[in-house]
């Protein structure tokens, strides 16, 4: 990535929206990219929208910025690239130098070129000529158009040619907060994963953290949740905390806590309550619409173990989760309800991370 001062960001889902909605979502994502990069010390950046891409120019801390953007909701792919003029010799020269700087020990390669403007040469011309230059320098390399170890991408656009070799996947989805807000009880690792999935779909999630008396710094669930703060582009992340003390810990059922969540959702004007419940796990009775006045969202409900494992790995990469499935002392739904949600409201303390 030596010499690369530009990042090319792709959000695949905005292409499926109408022009008006696509513009709104892209503008929100640009604002959030700017916020996240400013946290990393970047200043004087220039953002430009171009044919399904967001071009970020003037990047000074490439490694830190790249790591941050790879974890952002709404970012499908991010690539460090070099930019040159739309002249054949300049494109071939920059692409060849970038390949030399990127190449390590790969055995096969390919060139993928696309033109978004009319030029006196074709995409196939660029692919053929650049491939020949690379093979002259690296005799042992062979071309593999199906599954190459290293690919050189060239995108010839109106303002120049963008050249890159590495494409880093992000979590994808929609920009954070673009689809309204929800609340969710944070009782176990499945709840944390469900919240992350709703954030990935553009929801602003307000967690209700149910503690068991342990200090926050030794509670693995709360520690993992705080990692989300690094990828959420807001100044303050709101969270409600409820401590179940010795006197009432065993008397509060899961249903009662969801009634409390419904009250907080009404107060926050949230559209629903998210939970990590699954159909095949014996975590007590399944909640239904009678337990809350708002819709109960269950993104994990019908997923099998393999699907949940894929999402878990994606969340771990995006947020750096380490102990997502650590056990947490959630209330047992078989105990008798002795406390109504209204009586628990005095235990709910709103905080900001």
Q: H helices within 72-207, ranges in order?
A: 88-102, 123-137, 189-200
Q: What is the total count of domains within the chain?
A: 2
Residue range 50-63, pLDDT digits in tens: 878 899 999 999 99
Measured CA distances, 248 to 34, 276, 349 (Å): 45, 24, 17
pTM for the whole structure:
0.81
Residue 119 lies in a domain: yes
Is the pLDDT at 72 greater than 70, yes or no? Answer: yes
CATH number (domain holding residue 87): 3.30.2130.30
Confidence of residue 252 (pLDDT cuts 50, 70, 90): low
Domain of residue 240 covers 181-352
CB atoms near residue 102 (< 10 Å): 17
Q: Which of 132, 147, 169 is the last residue of a domain?
A: 169
302-304-305 Cα angle (round to 5): 140
Confidence of residue 83 (pLDDT cuts 50, 70, 90): very high
> 142 and 222, same structural domain?
no
Residue range 166-199, pLDDT digits in tens: 999 988 999 999 999 999 888 878 888 899 999 9
Closest CA to 155 of 126, 128, 134, 135: 126
Which of 14-23, 177-186, 280-289 is least confident?
280-289
- C-alpha count within 13 angstroms, C-beta hemisphere, residue 57: 12
CATH number (domain holding residue 247): 3.40.50.620
Q: Report the pLDDT value the prediction gives residue 257, as an integer from 0 to 100.
A: 79
> 134 and 213, same structural domain?
no
> 238 and 156, same structural domain?
no
Q: Give me 12's structure tokens.
A: 């695949």
């Amino acid at each position: 990535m030596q010499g690369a001062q530009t990042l090319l960001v792709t959000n695949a889902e905005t292409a499926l929206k109408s022009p008006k909605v696509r513009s709104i979502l892209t503008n929100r994502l640009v604002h959030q990219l700017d916020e996240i990069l400013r946290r990393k010390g970047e200043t004087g950046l220039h953002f430009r929208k171009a044919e399904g891409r967001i071009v970020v120019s003037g990047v000074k801390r490439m490694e830190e910025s790249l790591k941050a953007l790879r974890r952002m909701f709404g970012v499908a792919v991010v690539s460090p690239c070099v930019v040159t003029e739309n002249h054949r010799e300049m494109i071939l020269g920059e692409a060849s130098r970038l390949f030399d700087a990127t190449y390590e020990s790969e055995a096969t390669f390919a060139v993928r070129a696309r033109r978004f403007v009319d030029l006196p040469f074709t995409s196939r011309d660029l692919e053929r000529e650049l491939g020949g230059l690379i093979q002259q320098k690296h005799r042992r390399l062979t071309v593999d158009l199906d599954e190459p170890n290293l690919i050189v991408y060239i995108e010839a656009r109106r303002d120049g040619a963008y050249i890159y070799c590495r494409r880093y996947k992000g979590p994808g989805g929609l920009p954070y907060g673009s689809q309204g807000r929800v609340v969710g009880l944070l009782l176990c690792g499945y709840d944390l994963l469900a919240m992350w999935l709703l954030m990935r779909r553009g929801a602003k999630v307000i967690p209700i953290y149910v503690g068991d008396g342990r200090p926050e710094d030794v509670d693995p669930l709360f520690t993992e949740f705080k990692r989300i703060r690094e990828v959420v582009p807001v100044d303050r992340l709101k969270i409600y905390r409820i401590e179940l003390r010795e006197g009432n810990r065993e008397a509060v059922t899961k249903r009662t806590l969801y009634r409390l969540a419904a009250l907080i959702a009404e107060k926050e004007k949230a559209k629903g309550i998210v939970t990590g419940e699954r159909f095949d796990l014996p975590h007590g009775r399944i909640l239904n619409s009678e337990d809350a006045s708002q819709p109960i969202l269950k993104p994990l409900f019908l997923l099998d173990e393999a699907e949940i494992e894929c999402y878990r790995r994606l969340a771990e990469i995006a947020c750096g989760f380490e102990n997502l499935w650590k056990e947490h002392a959630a209330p047992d739904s078989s105990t008798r309800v002795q406390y109504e949600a209204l009586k628990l409201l005095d235990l709910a303390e709103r905080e900001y991370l």
